[in-house]
Amino acid sequence: MEEQIELVLDKYRSAGRILAEVREEAVGRIKEGFSLLEVAEFVENGTREKGAEPGFPCNISRNEEAAHATPSIDEKTVFGKDIVKLDIGAHIGGYIGDSAVTVDLSGSNDGLVKASEAALNEAIKIIRDGVSTVEIGETIENTIRARAQGYKPIVNLTGHGLLKYNSHARPAIPNVKYEHGVILRENDVVAIEPFATDAQGVGKVVESGNAEIYSLIKAKPVRLREAKKLLEEIKKYQGLPFAKRWLPRERLDMALRTLKNTGVLRDHPVLREEGKGLVSQAEHTIIVKEDGCEVTTRKTKT
Ligand code: MN
Ligand code: MN
């Protein structure tokens, strides 16, 4: 039994190591005038070349976008003076590493970037067997609010558990103090992801715009031939989120619409800060240990 747990944890570690390498290489390509689509493809192909699979589409969310933005297949957008969240996933056999960094191309939002990074670091310091998600949320909120610039945490985005082929398992790990937490135990694998917004932000995200990311809710018989074909195609993601641009283009919109309307698929529209505040994010995947935690998505020195 012990050995089996170690085998599983080793897959999380390998996925995390690959992810950390890809993340570092990708950050070097986030520059003014560089293409968003090229960065996304670099991340996803790089993950595969290193022996893992993307855990979900490469998320590139800018400025007041907090999450769930990924380039479309014919995306022409290039980076401007943006505050860029790169949120990526890699899995081996369903065991996922999930990590995000914020790159400030504006040159004037370093404090906001540091606020979510500091919150992540403080949270990592207190995680051990027996820690409550309430303590984690409180630590994140206090760290972000301690900054002089009026930054606030985003209340409706949370960290989460990771399970085999489940990139958003329980428990939710809020970025604010709340009631009724869950106790984390040794060998739990969770993602911690503080989001901070500036003084203009209200600290909440809302859905907006078209979705480029989808995931399977439950396979059901469908009549339309295109929908049936598409359902077969997406089964290989085993419930993990996928990008519209990964799919065969032929009659795609109709097939997606049908699968969404019949409750087979859900879409994941872009999440924007409600007050149009700028948003930063920092995220690592960790394994809870008796006396601390192990970060799987940190680049290890060789
Ligand atoms: Mn993430
Ligand atoms: Mn996550």
pLDDT, tens only, 156-198:
999 999 999 999 999 999 999 999 999 999 999 999 999 999 9
Say whether 186 is catalytic: no
Alpha helices in 237-292 (DSSP H): 252-261
Say whether 25 is catalytic: no
pTM as predicted: 0.97
Task: Answer yes or no: same fold for 2-209+273-295 and 213-267.
Answer: no
State the ligand closest to the CA atom of 86.
1
Distance CA 141, CA 172 (A): 15
List, as ranges, residues with CB under 5 A of the ion ligand 1.
Answer: 87, 98, 100, 283
Q: What is the pLDDT of residue 244?
A: 98
Say whether 180 is catalytic: no
pLDDT digits (tens, 9 = 90+) for 248-262: 999 999 999 999 999
* Inter-helix orientation angle 225-234/252-261, to 10°: 80
Q: What is the pLDDT of residue 299?
A: 85
Q: What is the pLDDT of residue 302?
A: 53
- 212: pLDDT confidence band, cut at 50, 70 and 90? very high
Q: What is the pLDDT of residue 148?
A: 85
CA distances (Å), origin 230, targets 133, 219, 260: 39, 11, 12
**Could you count the other beta carbons within 10 Å of the beta carbon of residue 32?**
11
Tell how far the Cα of 198 is from the centroid of ligand 2, in angstroms: 21
Q: What percent of the chain has pLDDT over 90?
A: 96
pLDDT digits (tens, 9 = 90+) for 18-57: 999 999 999 999 999 999 999 999 999 999 999 999 999 9
- 2: pLDDT confidence band, cut at 50, 70 and 90? low
Domain ranges of the chain: 2-209+273-295, 213-267
Say whether 253 is catalytic: no
Q: Which of 82, 141, 188, 193 is labelled catalytic?
A: 193
Say if residue 231's pLDDT is above 80. yes
Q: What is the pLDDT of residue 263?
A: 97
Distance CA 44, CA 49 (A): 9
**HSE toward the beta carbon, residue 265, CA cutoff 13 A:** 32
pLDDT digits (tens, 9 = 90+) for 116-160: 999 999 999 999 999 999 999 999 999 999 998 999 999 999 999
Say whether 198 is catalytic: no
87, 23 Cβ separation under 8 angstroms: no
Architecture of domain 2-209+273-295: Alpha-Beta Complex (3.90)
Give the class (CATH, top level) of 213-267. mainly alpha
Say whether 168 is catalytic: yes
